[in-house]
Amino acid sequence: MKCDNCTVSVDPGETFQHAGQTLCEDCYMDVMTAPKSCDPWAVHTAKKLVSEEATLTGSQQEILDLIEKNGPLTAEEICSQLAITLDEFQRSFATLRHMELARGFKRGEEVCYTLFHDQQAG
Ligand SMILES: [Zn+2]
């Protein structure tokens, strides 16, 4: 089976249904935690970045640096430390997520963000 959002292959037992789409766990969590991040265009842009130009924008790099040093952090913590809006964060983070550099996970009721390959977090 394939995730309708990011087209990654998923085991049938690990899919999630949302709004008529079959999603992998990551995309499902993205949808549930940030309704606006389920944007096919953002995914398309991120994929383009990966294949053609693996460079990060300034704020993407700053987010990555920050969670590398101080993560896992909540969106609010990241936004206040980098002085960016939640919107800017979500847009930048969508790219980091699809480049498999960073990811979100649930800690209790909060969503935290960490490096993609952080084994200790959620
Ligand atoms: Zn997905």
Q: Specify whether 59 is located in the same domain as 19.
A: no
State the pLDDT confidence band at 51, using cuts at 50, 70 and 90.
Answer: very low
Q: Which domain holds residue 53?
A: 34-115
State yes or no: pLDDT of 29 exceeds 90. Answer: no
Neighbour count for residue 9 (Cβ, 10 Å): 8
Give the environment of ion ligand 1: residues with CB less than 5 A.
3, 5-6, 24, 27
Is residue 16 within a helix (H) or strand (E), and if so which, with residue range? strand 16-18
Q: What per-residue confidence (pLDDT) applies to 31?
A: 78
Q: Specify whether 16 is located in the same domain as 46.
A: no
Q: What percentage of the chain has pLDDT greater than the value 70? A: 82
Task: Please tell me which residue, 40 or 82, carries the higher pLDDT value.
Answer: 82
pTM for the model: 0.55
Q: What per-residue confidence (pLDDT) applies to 74?
A: 96
Q: Specify whether 94 is located in the same domain as 106.
A: yes
| CA of 38 relative to ligand 1 center, distance in Å | 10
- Residue among 94, 91, 62 nearest 78 (CA): 62
Q: Specify whether 27 is located in the same domain as 43.
A: no
Give the amino acid at 31.
V
The tokens describing 25, both together, are 């766990």
How many domains does the structure of the chain reveal?
Answer: 2
| CA of 32 relative to ligand 1 center, distance in Å | 13
In a domain, 106, yes or no: yes
Q: Specify whether 53 is located in the same domain as 85.
A: yes
Give the amino acid at 14.
E
